Copies of this chain bind each other. A is one copy, B any other.
Amino acid sequence: MASLTQFNLAEAIAVLTRTPATLNALLRGLPNIWVRCNEVKDTWSAFDIVRHLIFGERTDWMPRVLIMLENGEARPFDPFDRFKQLKESQDKSLEQLLDDFARLRRENLAALQALNLQHEDLTRRGRHPALGVVTLSELLATWAVHDLTHVHQLSRVMAHQYRDAVGPWSAFLGVLRCTGHSAP
């Protein structure tokens, strides 16, 4: 299995552990232009992205690990509703959201480590409602890369606010030419 040879649980946990502090350092206390503004209509601000990450901690990653370990391919994961979280936590400050995310991630990583997964467990299989059969290592790798895809998005959404302010330097600033890479 090609994907397994590249996956290492400790390495994935190293990324997952750092994301709350990274977002905290990047976002806490920033003026509203950086955290409340988005790109175009119906795209996400930094606020929305942190709420999305919180929703994933609550409903997606560890719940799917447990469904996979308990049911294998017999029970598909519950679909992940990427828009439901936008109706939740509307009245929280960014500081509260960052605190919530840090706490939930800490609890989830403690639960993951309590499973004491062995190398052979990483090939355990489950069923994704759209993608079909997936492995535990693929799910855990995706959890880490999902963090990175939202760091990627955050930097792009923030840079977008100064797309005109940089004047002719926009030619040299790759992030301003990124149009996003959402799934079709």
Q: A30 near B: Cβ within 8 Å?
A: yes
Q: Are B151 and A155 in contact (CB under 8 A)?
A: yes
The residue among A29, A128, A161, A167 with the most chain B CB atoms within 10 A of its own CB is: A167
Cβ distance A10 to chain B, nearest Cβ, rounded Å: 7
What is the CA–CA distance of A167 and B53 in the complex, to the nearest angstrom? 21
Could you say which interface size class chain A belongs to? 35 or more
What is the CA–CA distance of A169 and B25 in the complex, to the nearest angstrom? 28
Interface residues, chain A, with chain B CB atoms under 8 Å away: 2-4, 6-8, 10-12, 14-15, 18, 21-22, 24-26, 29-31, 33-34, 128, 131-132, 134-135, 137-139, 141-142, 144-146, 148-149, 151-156, 158-159, 161-162, 164-169, 171-178, 180-183
Which residues of the other chain, B, contact A172 by a CB distance below 8 angstroms?
A: 142, 183
Q: Are B24 and A11 in contact (CB under 8 A)?
A: no
Cβ distance A102 to chain B, nearest Cβ, rounded Å: 11
What is the CA–CA distance of A8 and B37 in the complex, to the nearest angstrom? 15
Which residues of the other chain, B, contact A18 by a CB distance below 8 angstroms?
A: 25-26, 30
